[in-house]
Amino acid sequence: MQNFQGVGVSPGRIIGTIRQMPKPISEPPAGEQLPAGVTAEDATAALKAASQAVHDELKARAAHATGDGKAVLEATALMAKDTMLIKGAAKLVARGVSSERAIWESGSSVSEMLHNLGGYMAERATDVLDVRARIVAELRGVPAPGIPASSTPFVLVAEDLAPADTATLDPNKVLALITAGGGPQSHTAIIARSLGLPAVVAAVGVDELPDGTEVYVDGAAGTITAEPDESLRAAAEAWAATASLLAEFSGTGATADGHLVPLLANVGGGKDAEAAAKLGAQGVGLFRTEFCFLERDTEPTVEEQAAAYKSVFDAFPGKKVVLRTLDAGADKPLPFLTDSTEPNPALGVRGYRTDFTTPGVLDRQLEAIAQAEKQSEADVWVMAPMISTAEEAARFASMCADAGIKTPGVMVEVPSAALTAEAILREVGFASLGTNDLTQYAMAADRQLGPLAALNTPWQPAVLRLVGLTVEGSRAEGHNKPVGVCGEAAADPALAVVLTGLGVSTLSMTARSLAAVAAVLKTVTLAEAQDLAKLALSAPSATEARAWVREKLPVLAELGL
Amino acid sequence: MPERTATIASRSGLHARPAALFAEAAGNAGVDVTISMQGEPAEEALDAASILSLMTLGAAKGDVVVLRADGDGADQALDSLVALLETDLDAE
């Protein structure tokens, strides 16, 4: 048995065989020529054979897909042997350019042409680049990029996953996710929790394991064991039995003594919202509106926006839906709002700040929200991301008032907002702590970087103190204005208890985590949660804070969380 | 050279799934088929079997396009392709 230690980001204990995610295809060097002895005819024939092979592979995958995925795969398969793409490459080969470089350049020019056409065509530009990379991989005789196709379920091992990989990740084929890089707040972690897959990130060395190795993955402990023994097999079987118990949420979050902590869902659109409502979510604590428009080159119209927002409101009639205005920038660029040349995007013009450089977009979004609210029965709250000062909060509140929005609020994710929460809450009706960014900014540690994973955990006593200060700010303000948490921290059942003890009033998380959080929360009284919060705050490190609290919550081990 | 006009019937125009279905059919027609918007010169016509060309053509629902082909079976091939364009492929 060989062990790897990483950071557990999504609980679950399973055994499966691994498949490595192939490394991205590198660009063939500019000016690369046909090798000596290879004629242009031979190279063109090889190119056509490769394009046919990629076409056949995508076509075969389309045959097993359904719905939108099938249509996209069918269209992409046709692109692989498209005359426009291949003739462009053949012309370059005739001039002596290597077949890999020729298809690379031909793909670039076709993709750029589609991009310049805008709209639907621009959205297909990346498909051409995907096809191009597949043809280059075929010519080089290396595995195609992207999540491997497999007829049997497997444990996916990657350096890290990008948001785009979510679309091609089939939760029926992937048993667990393991990454060598990435941190607890990386996209891999978010994807894994939303799909309910066990996951371990920052496990150095796992990318060296050969395909087909059998491994045991413990997504709570953060361990991976190659060639597991009988005791680990028994642990995986025991988890399978308890997992079904953790799938049900009664629909009321509360402590053992009946202190209510509404458990809400984080959603990115109408489909998510419907799924969350089915899983018992008591409302939406974070509607990430930018997720409706991530692939857009241009600003959506007010009507398009209103329709997208209404689809979420309609899943929660009579319940609270907290909508976050467009949070573009850093790892989620929107071409119509963000400047991709910023040297330091996490500290750049992102979130609410895009209103400084692109005024009007936020006003139109607020107009669309107000319009959608009028046609729905949800209790709509609206908050701005990346608020740093009370002055910004006041300005956002007045923009909301002008649009006819009744309940304006702010995200607390910049440390300055936590420190001045009293002044900020005088201007708005509520605050919601975004623990992912709050951690990144408090610890000055990029949340995407694997080597900084140990810094990048909301168990850091400094982060917990900022949460506590925000709650104290609300109390000092005097009107009992709600302070919720909508970061990934709320999905960790042990941390959820600590946050409750710190005085947080609602917890919002990926809907898959609702049942586990509710199950643990109902085993402690409010007073016990307060004691655990004090314990965590007094810890000298994040590791000890987590270990000390977990030790006092034996239910976690019983449930395998 | 035989040619036909057809009015695009698919709601999304000649994009996405309708474009894929049409390009595939044109590729299997047995003769080389070109497509252009009505009124454009024949020498600027595009390869009808190329999905990327169809996407750049940008034909919307209600637009009239011209299909051209030469050789054995050209008339028959054009007739079946016209029928395909005049069907709302998004509805299927």
Nearest to B58 among A83, A110, A117 (CB): A117
Phi and psi for A223 in degrees, rounded to 5? Answer: -110, 150
- What is the distance, to the nearest Å, from the Cα of residue B76 to the centroid of all Cα atoms in its chain? 14
A57 close contact with B: CB closer than 8 A: no
Which of A492, A442, A496, A434 lies closest to A465 in space, CA to CA? A442
Looking at residue A554, the DSSP 8-state letter turns out to be T
Q: How far is CA A558 from CA A237, A561, B57, in A?
A: 14, 8, 62
A79–B19 C-beta distance less than 8 A? no
* Amino acid letter, A245: L
Interface of B with A (CB under 8 A): 12, 15-17, 19-20, 23-24, 27, 47, 49-53, 55-56, 58
pLDDT, chain A, mean: 91
Whether A66 contacts chain B with CB within 8 A: no
Structure tokens at A186: 């990386």
Strands of A204-338, DSSP E = 214-218, 223-226, 263-267, 283-288, 320-324
Q: Are B51 and A82 within 8 A, CB to CB?
A: yes
Q: Per-residue pLDDT averaged across A243-252, rounded?
A: 79
| A235 burial type by CB count under 10 A (0-12 exposed, 13-18 middle, 19+ buried) | middle
Which residues in chain B have Cβ-Cβ distances shorter than 8 Å to A110? 52
* Cβ–Cβ < 8 Å for A384, A407: no
B18 or A398, greater pLDDT: A398
Alpha helices (runs of H) in A227-360, residue ranges in sequence order: 230-245, 270-278, 302-313, 354-357
pLDDT one-digit tens code per residue, A171-207: 889 999 999 988 777 778 877 887 889 999 999 999 9
How far apart (Å, rounded) are the C-alpha atoms in residues A144 and A134? 5
Average pLDDT of every residue of chain B: 90
Q: Which residues of B touch A74 (CB under 8 A)?
A: 17, 20
User: Which among B16, B49, B58 has CB closest to A75?
Assistant: B16
Contact call for residues A395 and A448 (beta carbons, < 8 A): no
Pairing of strands A7-10, A263-267: unpaired
State mean pLDDT over B64-84: 93
Percent residues over pLDDT 70 in chain A: 98
Which one, of A78, A120, A1, A9, lies nearest residue A450 by Cα?
A9
Catalytic residue among A55, A292, A400, A486: A486
Token pair belonging to A341:
């040349």
**Among partner residues A71, A82, A110, which is closest to B16 by beta-carbon distance?**
A71
Residue B84 distance to chain A (closest CA, Å) = 17
Q: B20 vs A83: CB contact, 8 Å cut-off?
A: no
Give the C-alpha separation, A186 to A202, whole Å: 10
Distance from CA of A325 to the nearest CA of B (A): 30
- pLDDT tens sequence across A49-81: 999 999 999 888 888 777 767 777 888 899 999
Domain count, chain B: 1
How many Å lie between the alpha carbon of A80 and the closest alpha carbon of chain B? 10
In chain B, residues with a C-beta closer than 8 Å to the C-beta of A70 are none
pLDDT tens digits for range A354-374: 999 999 999 999 999 999 999
Does A110 reach chain B within 8 Å, measured CB to CB? Answer: yes
Q: Which chain A residues are within 8 Å of B49, Cβ to Cβ?
A: 83
Please tell me if residue A82 touches chain B, with a CB cutoff of 8 Å: yes
Residue A280: count other Cβ atoms within 10 Å of its Cβ. 18
Helix (H) or strand (E) holding A9: strand A7-10
Our CA-based measurement puts residue A61 at a distance from the nearest CA of chain B, in whole angstroms, of 16
pLDDT of residue A63: 84
Domain membership of residue B69 as a residue range: 3-91
Task: Tell me the CATH number for domain A40-140.
Answer: 1.10.274.10
Q: What's the rounded Cα separation, in Å, for the pair A17 and A390?
A: 52
Let me know: does A1 contact A229? Beta carbons within 8 Å.
yes
Amino acid making up residue A443 = M
> Which residues in chain B have their CB less than 8 angstroms from residue A71's CB?
16-17, 20
Chain B residue whose CA is closest to A86:
B50
- Running DSSP on this structure, what letter comes out for residue A490? G
Domain limits of chain A?
Answer: 2-21+147-236, 40-140, 263-559
* Residue from B22, B47, B55, B90 to probe the interface with A (highest A Cβ count within 10 Å): B55
Which among A434, A261, A409 is positioned nearest to A323, based on CA atoms?
A: A409
How far separated are the first and last CA of chain B, in Å rounded? 33
Q: Which two tokens stand for residue A541?
A: 């490190």
**Phi–psi pair at A88, nearest 5 degrees:** -60, -40
Residue of chain A with shortest Cα separation from B13: A120
In terms of Cα–Cα distance, which of A218, A216, A188 is closest to A202? A188
CA distance A490 to B10: 46
Residue scoring higher pLDDT (A343 or A550): A550
- Rounded (5°) CA angle A200-A187-A266: 105
Put simply, the answer to whether B23 touches A121 (Cβ < 8 Å) is: no
CATH of the domain at B83: 3.30.1340.10
Question: pLDDT digit string (tens) for A407-449?
Answer: 999 999 999 999 999 999 999 999 999 999 999 999 999 887 8
Give the highest mean pLDDT range of A396-405, A450-459, B54-63, B71-80: A396-405
To test the contact with chain A by mutation, choose from B33, B52, B61, B90 the residue with the greatest count of A C-beta atoms within 10 A, namely B52
- Coil vs helix vs strand at A158: strand
Express each pLDDT in A88-133 by its tens digit: 999 999 999 999 999 999 999 999 988 888 777 777 888 899 899 9
CB contact under 8 A, B53 and A78: no
Average pLDDT of the residues in A534-561: 92
User: Mind telling me how many Å the CA of A191 is from chain B's nearest CA?
Assistant: 27
Whether A204 contacts A544, CB under 8 Å = no
Asked if A120 is an interface residue toward chain B (Cβ–Cβ < 8 A), one would say yes
CB contact under 8 A, A83 and B53: yes
Cβ of A84 within 8 Å of Cβ of B47? The answer is: yes
**A258-269 pLDDT, tens digit each:** 999 999 999 999
A23, two tokens: 């490394």
Tens-place pLDDT, residues B2-27: 999 999 998 878 877 888 899 999 99
Q: How far is B13 from chain A (nearest CA, A)?
A: 11
Q: Classify domain A263-559 at the CATH topology level.
A: TIM Barrel (3.20.20)
- Could A82 and B52 be called an inter-chain contact, meaning their C-beta atoms sit closer than 8 Å? yes
Report helix, strand and coil shares of chain B as percent, to nearest 5: 40, 20, 40
Residue A2 has pLDDT above 70, yes or no: yes
SS3 for A402-470 is HHCCCEEEEEECCHHHHHCHHHHHHHCCEEEECHHHHHHHHHCCCCCCHHHCCCCCCCCHHHHHHHHHH
How far, in Å, CA of B82 to CA of A91, rounded? 32
Rounded CA separation A522/A212 (Å)? 41
Kindly report the number of other CB atoms within 10 A of residue B67's CB atom: 24
The yes or no reply on domain A2-21+147-236 and CATH 3.50.30.10 is yes
A383 Cβ under 8 Å from any chain B Cβ: no
CB atoms within 10 A of CB A436: 22
User: For A329-342, how does the pLDDT look when each residue is reduced to its tens digit (9 = 90+)?
Assistant: 767 778 788 777 78
Closest-CA distance, A49 to chain B, in angstroms, reads: 17
Interface predicted TM-score (ipTM): 0.88
User: Does any CB of chain B come closer than 8 Å to the CB of residue A67?
Assistant: no
Q: From A500, A508, A551, A505, select the one nearest A528 (Cα to Cα).
A: A500
Please, what is the end-to-end C-alpha distance for chain A in angstroms? 23
Which candidate from B47, B49, B52 shows the least CB-CB separation from A79?
Answer: B52
Catalytic-residue membership of B52:
no
Q: Give yes or no: A486 in active site.
A: yes
Residues of B in contact with A82 (CB under 8 A): 50-53
Q: Report the pLDDT value the prediction gives residue A167, as an integer from 0 to 100.
A: 62
Chain A environment of B35 (Cβ under 8 Å): none
Q: A174-179 and A407-412: which strand pairing?
A: unpaired
CA distance A125 to chain B (A): 10
